[in-house]
């Protein structure tokens, strides 16, 4: 058996983990039920504010403006029973990619480019994270 410890990740460390990734999951509510989609993302940072940027196809299920949303990235070491998770809760908003060099500076570079012309941001009201550490291994 492995014993583990769950620790809170600081806000600063959550931002660092968001900076290094490019693939996460976004959740929205559709017909009264949550749905989750894998998305390429990029952390958009300005002094005092951070957002998650994604691109999608106009008219698809993620193409929403002013919708509650959650975004998550994580890493799991199955063999070591360790990992971390960062959760961003906020509002999904449509963004103008041509405003303030947004397109050049904050393109999430989706792996699938077909018609991904709708730019969205998650405007957070909360960013939090947890890290799971394996403490001991018993060889019984």
The string of DSSP letters for the chain reads -EEEEEEEEPHHHHHHHHHH--EEEEEEEETTEEEEEEEE-EEEEETTEEEEEEEE-TTSTT--SSEEEEEEEEEEETTTTEEEEEEEEEEEEEE-TTSTTHHHHH----S--TT--EEEEEEEEEEEEEEEEEEEE---
Q: Give the residue among 109, 96, 105 at the shortest CA–CA distance from 44.
A: 105
Tell me how far apart the alpha carbons of residues 10 and 99 are, in angstroms, rounded to a whole number: 31
Taking alpha carbons only, the member of 128, 23, 132 closest to residue 73 is 23
Q: What confidence category does residue 105 fall into, taking pLDDT thresholds of 50, 70 and 90?
A: low
Count of structural domains within the chain:
1
Q: Compare 112 and 78 and report the one with higher pLDDT.
A: 78
CATH number of the domain encompassing residue 104 = 2.30.110.10
Tokens of 70: 């959650």
- Interatomic CA distance for residues 72 and 82, integer angstroms: 17
Does residue 29 or residue 135 have the better pLDDT? Answer: 29
Residues 55-84: what's their mean pLDDT? 91
Q: Is 44 or 130 the better-scoring residue by pLDDT?
A: 130
Domain range for residue 123? 2-137
For the stretch 10-60, pLDDT in tens is: 999 999 999 998 999 999 999 999 999 999 999 988 888 899 999 888 888
């Amino acid at each position: 058996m492995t014993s583990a410890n769950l620790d809170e990740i600081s806000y600063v460390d959550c931002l660092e983990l968001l900076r290094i990734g490019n693939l996460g999951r976004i959740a929205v509510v559709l017909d009264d039920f949550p749905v989750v989609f894998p998305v390429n993302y990029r952390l958009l940072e300005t002094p005092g504010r951070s957002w998650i940027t994604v691109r999608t196809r106009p008219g698809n299920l993620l193409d929403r403006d002013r919708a509650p949303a959650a975004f998550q990235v994580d890493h799991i070491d199955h063999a070591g029973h360790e990992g971390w998770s960062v959760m961003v809760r906020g509002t999904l908003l449509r963004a103008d990619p041509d405003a303030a060099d947004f397109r050049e500076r904050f393109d999430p570079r989706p792996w699938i480019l077909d018609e991904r012309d709708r730019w969205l941001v998650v405007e957070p009201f909360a960013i939090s994270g947890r890290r799971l550490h394996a403490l001991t291994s018993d060889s019984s």
